[in-house]
A = this chain, B = another copy of it.
């Protein structure tokens, strides 16, 4: 029977509650499919800062690197917002991404037919939107140097960062994006700001060059300001989007909000060879933490992505996705996606419903 080591990173806020549900689901599907999981739970983010004074303890990164896949819940909270950068939960997450080399971040923005009313967009615009944002995750302005603070010749203080990509970095994310587009509708839109930035000019050149290797995919280019508009005006024009770390941060959040169900959206981050990192798109929601109100479905769907992309266990992934659909179909909703005539449930209860559905 197949055995996998999974490192669990519950993190902060609602992280631990949604992680519990996800682990229960993973165990249940393991039993059904004859897969054994060995779990190692580690600290990251604010929880790690509080416990050992480091948002990514060495021991956590080591365990992640040695496992087959890493399942993260959420990090951050008001409590650590004023900390210096080295002691921010976010810094732990960025170091984890860099440490694992997970350069490709997949963020699906799917409108679930049962939840179209929850979209802020008019129903006919939101209806059946299905976008995959492929975001470069360990380069660009997030990691570029030089960075820091300085002084102008007039003695004025400055803050600065460097947005930089190498051809190789663009090539590898482009390839992954073209391959994703091949599995979808074969439409790839590359987003940049090549009319102003040199870093974007290189981006556009390289994506175009790699495109020659994928003649079956229709490649288009769009400026980031226009993309921010088009995602609202007519999101159905998009199939797969590939973009830089910063633009991907902004556009994937925008895309997820148009679905109206950000509590439903998972993500996967993969590297060239090592373990991938799977996490919901939403944050740690400190305001509802510990109240059994959180929606665990994005975390559960992240488990499905882990099974599919990380472990190649497509049948197990299908089972989980079907269980989620079944729960929605039977009318169960957490507070964030509640609507008239549906049954409001808490985080634990939603977990039980999923186990039943499995």
Contact = CB atoms under 8 A, between A and B. Distances in A.
Interface string A108-119: 000000000001
21 contacts: A85-B198, A90-B196, A120-B121, A120-B122, A121-B122, A144-B160, A154-B168, A156-B168, A157-B166, A157-B167, A157-B202, A158-B165, A159-B197, A159-B202, A159-B203, A162-B162, A226-B253, A229-B253, A229-B256, A232-B232, A233-B257
A40 interface: no
SS class of chain A's interface: helix, strand, loop or mixed? Answer: helix
Given A228-B250, A251-B228, A256-B229, A200 B159 contact: yes
Contact of A193 (B144, B202, B246, B262): B246
A198 B228 contact: no
**How extensive is the interface on chain A, given as a class?**
35 or more
B158 A164 contact: yes
Contact of A229 (B88, B166, B262): B262
Interface string A168-200: 100000000000000000000000010111111
A198 B232 contact: no
* Among A144, A161, A229, residue most surrounded by chain B Cβ atoms (within 10 Å): A161
A234 B159 CA distance: 31
Given A141-B197, A147-B198, A250-B224, A233 B159 contact: no
A257 B203 CA distance: 26
Contact of A198 (B148, B198, B201, B229): B148
A160 B164 contact: yes
Interface string A93-106: 01000000000000
Nearest to A201: B159
A193 B250 CA distance: 10
A313 interface: no
Given A159-B201, A199-B160, A152 B125 contact: no
A250 B197 CA distance: 14
A233 to B, nearest CB: 6
